[in-house]
Amino acid sequence: MKISPHWLRDFVDLPVDYTRLADELTLAGVAVEGISGKGDSTVFEMEITTNRPDAMNHYGVAREASALYDLPLRPIESKLPPPQGKSDVTIDIQEPELCPRFTAREIRGATIKPSPTNIARRLQLLDQRPISNAVDATNYVLWESGKPTHVFDLDLLEGRRLVIRKAHAGETLKTLDGVERKLTTEDLVVADAKKPVGLAGVMGGFDTMITEKTKNILIESAWWDPVTVRRMSKRHGIHTDASHRFERGADFESAVPSTNRVAELILASGGGTLIGDVINVIARQLDLAPVELNPREVHRILGEKFSTLEINRILTRLGFTMLPGGEDNYLVHIPSWRLDVEREIDIIEELARLHGYDKFSNTLPAYSGEVRELPDAHKDARLRSSLLALGYNETISLTFISKEEANRFSTAPELDLANPLSDEASVMRTSMVPSMLNMLAYNLNRGSDNVRLFESGNVFEASGAKALEMKRLSIGATGNVDAEVVRGLAPGAAARPLSFFDLKGDIESLLAPFSHWTLYYDAQAADYYHPGRSARAVLDGATVAQFGQIHPDVATARKLRQDVFVAEIYLDRLYQHDLRQVRYEALPRFPAVERDFSFVFDDGVEFEKIRQSVTELGITELRSFVPVEIFRGEKVGAGKYSILMRAKLQSSERTLRDDEVAQWAAQITKTLEGLGGVQRA
């Protein structure tokens, strides 16, 4: 919203220039996002939070400046001529819960014409188009004091009567924007004796609007239920300056002053006669409960002692009233325009922001204990930094899933919520996979084809009368491998689709820092993974991870339009292992010897079995035994594959002899033949 700092000077004598004013208002929580124009034409672009409708106008911002600089705030006082006669307009509130107050004033014999230059100029500065003196008066009061008002052509109101009621089924209303709107029985309307003439708190009616022919005017100002206004605005697709304020909560006590102020402006520019006193119908009172304030609590929360004089000064400038309460407490009466203040902590926040957050001294909280690192914090940090380095982004999701997903992705008994948000969030999650799939699908459905995500959190399962909580890490990836960044692709090479082996490489990178005796991978992953593109990691006999491509049936059910790879790491098991200690080891002084072995095996023989059999030979000089190349085709035969493996042999004490290398190679060859392998020529 836009605010003219020159207009603020009508209410408070600002002691600073506009640039400094903008900075200090922002520090006090009334943010100025930008400044345009110069001199009297300067305009602040402000970001007022939704809980502060009282500051969505010039008088509200002036009140903040008054408290900020401890200066008097001049009141808005309407000067009206003595009224003539008595108005015969009647107000009937049939929905007191939705409209507890309605005020009106009648003016006869007014002239509708362009607004005075000073009024039109100020509205134009705020990007408001001047219309006529009567309509501009309502807009001026809206931006001056924040209270939406409306003016009717009194001669077009049937029966000289306004009724606040629910719309009847089948009724229509042509609003000021010229649109014929079909009303429902959920709509709250202002009606005359026969028909609706306005959508309460949102927009007035076309048929009773002010025109150049208007002579007699009825001004109205009311208080409308915020929820009702919000629902009507959303239902009819209308968002107006009035609805923006009413749906956030208007000032109950401003109805009469705003009505009088509009009357004053119309009479000053268009003449006419004020008829009767203000019509003020109160169907029910809205009183804000006072709040008890303890100065000791102010000190405890803010860390600095505020004198009673300072507390009273700040709160009085903001419109609050302090009275003595019980013991050392004070009873603070809340002004009618501050609907956001309900608790003691709200009052303390007002004291802090007007005192100045930047004026609090930098001190550490008192602490007599010792600093302790959270369990496994260094392990969490190691995994997180590794994942970020691998190109993954951290996410957070709800810990609730549906009962159907809990049963699909886990065999653990789930924990039902006593008061679930919906059927889709009725149990505590038993697996991290469903949430990860939802987040991947969300990104894919919004045009993000290359996605890398990870989330660390807890899963839950029922154990008798108790609930068990286990720590998990989920990883999700889909899209292409970045050719020039990761995984050893040559610079300039074309990107290729992510594969199972890319994900496996990431899992290996995450598990490598943890100390262990044995680590192997096999194909015994859960059934929601692709049977040929998934695996589990077993560390010292315990399953610490499952990963792979999501099963095609699961992907189809979730409408995933490209291959998705997911991993779930069981951190409660993994963290039973310490991180490896970094140790220095000198480079070998003696050369290594490499020997290649080319064999044909049946598809049923996995490389893990081959590696384990070779390791069991106990050759202390064997540094590594890795696959180099795998080939399948007609020359190999159906159900078989050809694999080239490389052994690296090296001693830290001497140079290896040819005869002993030949002996070890023979042992390896014999072992491979014992697994059914046929050596290729």
pLDDT band at 532 (very low <50, low <70, confident <90, very high): confident
441-456 tens-digit pLDDT: 999 999 898 999 999 9
In contact, 458 and 570? CB cutoff 8 Å: no
Hey, do 2-69 and 291-359 end up sharing a CATH topology, with the first three levels equal? yes
Contact 242, 233 (CB under 8 A): no
Long-range contacts for 17-25 (Cβ within 8 Å, ≥24 apart)? 18/42, 18/44, 21/65, 24/68, 25/61, 25/64, 25/65, 25/68
Q: Is 523 helix (H, G, I), strand (E, B) or coil?
A: coil
Over range 549-576, report the average pLDDT. Answer: 94
Average pLDDT over residues 89-104: 96
681 has a pLDDT exceeding 90: no
The C-alpha R_g of the chain, in whole angstroms, comes to: 38
Cα–Cα distance measured from residue 196 to residue 183, given in angstroms and rounded to the nearest whole number: 10
**pLDDT band at residue 587, thresholds of 50, 70 and 90?**
confident
CB atoms within 10 A of CB 668: 21
| Strand residues in 412-465 grouped as ranges (E) | 427-428, 451-463
- Can you read off the two tokens belonging to residue 404? 């159907």
In the numeric block, the tokens 């915020």 are attached to 226
Fold of 291-359: Phenylalanyl-tRNA Synthetase; Chain B, domain 1 (3.30.56)
Strand order in the sheet with 291-293: 291-293, 330-333, 321-324
Alpha carbon 383 to its chain's center? 26
Angle between helices 58-69 and 133-145 (to 10 degrees): 30
| pLDDT of 273 strictly over 60 | yes
Cα–Cα nearest to 228, from 250, 198, 201, 197: 201
Q: Which CATH number fits domain 90-282: 3.30.460.80, 1.10.3720.10, 3.40.1160.10, 3.50.40.10?
A: 3.50.40.10
60 in Cβ contact with 146 (< 8 Å): yes
Select from 630, 628, 616, 623 the least CA-distant residue to 668: 616
Quick: pLDDT tens for 171-222: 999 999 999 999 999 999 999 999 999 999 999 999 999 999 999 999 999 9
Reading the block at residue 241, the tokens are 């300056």
Residue 142 in this model has a pLDDT that exceeds 50: yes
- β-pair type (451-463, 466-478): antiparallel
pLDDT at residue 491 in the model: 57
pLDDT band at residue 493, thresholds of 50, 70 and 90? Answer: low
| Structure tokens belonging to residue 76 | 């808005």
Instruction: Determine how many CB atoms are found less than 10 A away from the CB of residue 309.
Output: 8
pLDDT at 492: 59
Indicate the class that CATH gives domain 593-679.
alpha beta
What's the angle, vertex CA 625, arms to CA 620 and CA 627, rounded to 5?
175
Q: How far apart are CA 153 and CA 448, in angstroms?
A: 55
**Calpha distance 339→354 (Å, rounded):** 18
pLDDT bin (cut points 50, 70, 90) of residue 358 is confident
Query: What is residue 364's predicted lDDT score, i.e. its pLDDT?
Result: 74
The C-alpha angle with vertex 398 and arms to 570 and 52, in degrees rounded to 5, equals 145
Please state which architecture CATH assigns to domain 2-69.
2-Layer Sandwich (3.30)
Q: Are 109 and 215 in contact (CB under 8 A)?
A: yes
CA nearest to 416, candidates 406, 401, 407, 426: 426
pTM (2 d.p.): 0.60
In CATH, what number does 377-574 get?
3.30.930.10
Q: Is the pLDDT of residue 57 over 90?
A: yes
d(CA 196, CA 207): 10
The full set of domain ranges for the chain reads: 2-69, 90-282, 291-359, 377-574, 593-679
Q: Grade residue 490 by pLDDT with cuts at 50, 70 and 90.
A: low
For 599-610, b/e burial (b = at least 16 CB within 10 A) is bbbeeebebeeb
Yes or no: say if 459 and 470 are a contact pair by the CB < 8 Å rule: yes
